[in-house]
Structure formats: structure tokens, C-alpha cells
Amino acid sequence: MPFIETGFKGLLIFEPKVFKDSRGYFFESFNKKTFADAGITGEFVQDNESKSERGVLRGLHYQHNPMAQSKLVRVVEGEVLDVVVDIRKGSPTFGKTFSVLLTAENKKQLFIPRGFAHGFSVLSETCIFQYKCDNFYSKESEGGIRFDDPELGIDWGLGKDEALVSDKDRILPLFKDCVNTFSFV
């Protein structure tokens, strides 16, 4: 099975089988049956891509119900430290963080179910980041948590003054003030 458990219910690392030869490589970045066999049955409806330079820190973002999104994220060029926070009330991992290095070389992907805030920091000179979503983007449904929340204590893998953060992300609320209706099932 190409999925690795993370200790957070529903949060899985997908490690595709990569076939390499003298011409290059081939792998399936998504296969509906493979994902369904792992219990991931939602339908992806939107693909997104961003390009960023070293130091860019995006997040921590989520969308409120009913526009909440599960995501399948990966790096096509470069490398990022991908970070999630469990915001599902009643979860044994509520308020805990998980991070994984996603790179163009390791081809790992992270499946992030609804009920997690998500962000990433770019560790390479540039990065192309792609993600599939199972619900459409809705500006009115945006939610988030401050990237530098002292309660979460996230190490983004960047120097103190290296993080390039949007004004919008700098004013997100702290985790303790995070409002959402996610609950653990």
C-alpha cells in the first residue's frame, strides 16, 4: 500500500511507486481506485498550482463548513516543509501539528482531510506546489491560524527574518481564537 500513517486519523502520506530508467521516470500521482482502497473516496473538483521563491510561507489556511476542503498536495519543483494543524474538536490530536518534507525528488504527497489548517514554507530557491481539492474555493469561507502562534511553536525551517508572509496571513487569529465547526468522527 503506498500510504503511510501519520498518527493523525485520516492524514496520510502518499508515496507513489516511481519507475525510472535511462529516459527519465513515470509515476501515477493520483489513481481513484488506489485512493478508494485507502478509504479516500471524495471527488476532487479543483486543481491549484503556485510558484514561490525561497522563504515564502503560506498559511495556515482552511475553509469553513460547508465549503471545507480535503486536499492532496505535492511539489513538482523544489522543496517545501508542509505543515498541518488538527482543528477537529474532540480529536485525540486536536491542536497538534504535523510536518513533512515534500520535494520534487521524493515525490511524496500529503492527503489532508477536512478539519486541518494547512500551510507550507519554501526551502528551495523556487518551488512549484500543486494541490487537488474536493470542494471549490470560497472567499467567504476562508479561515486561518497565525503561522507564528507561540502555542503551536511551529518550526518552519527558515531563519528568523527569512519568512516572506502575506499581510493577510500576518493578521490571522491565534489557535486559541480559531473559530470553526469541525468535529472529530
Instruction: Check residue 185 and give its pLDDT.
Output: 81
Is 178 in contact with 115 (CB distance < 8 Å)?
Answer: no
Residue 98: which of 76, 80, 71, 116 has the closest Cα?
A: 116
Nearest residue to 16 (alpha-carbon basis) of 128, 112, 113, 106: 106
Per run of 10 residues, the mean pLDDT along the chain (length 185 residues) is 92 96 94 95 96 97 97 98 98 98 98 98 98 97 97 94 96 95 90
Task: Return the CATH fold of 43-177.
Answer: Jelly Rolls (2.60.120)
* 47: nearest Cα among 76, 78, 80, 15: 76
Q: Is 159 helix (H, G, I), strand (E, B) or coil?
A: coil
Amino acid 26: pLDDT: 95
Q: One of 62, 118, 131, 137 is an active-site residue; which one?
A: 131
Q: Are 1 and 36 in contact (CB under 8 A)?
A: no
Ranges of each domain in the chain: 43-177
- Of 25, 61, 64, 118, the active-site residue reads 61
Q: Report the distance separating Cα 159 and Cα 154, nearest Å.
A: 13
Catalytic residue list contains 61: yes
pTM: 0.95
Please report the pLDDT score of residue 1 as a whole number.
Answer: 60
* pLDDT for res 166: 97
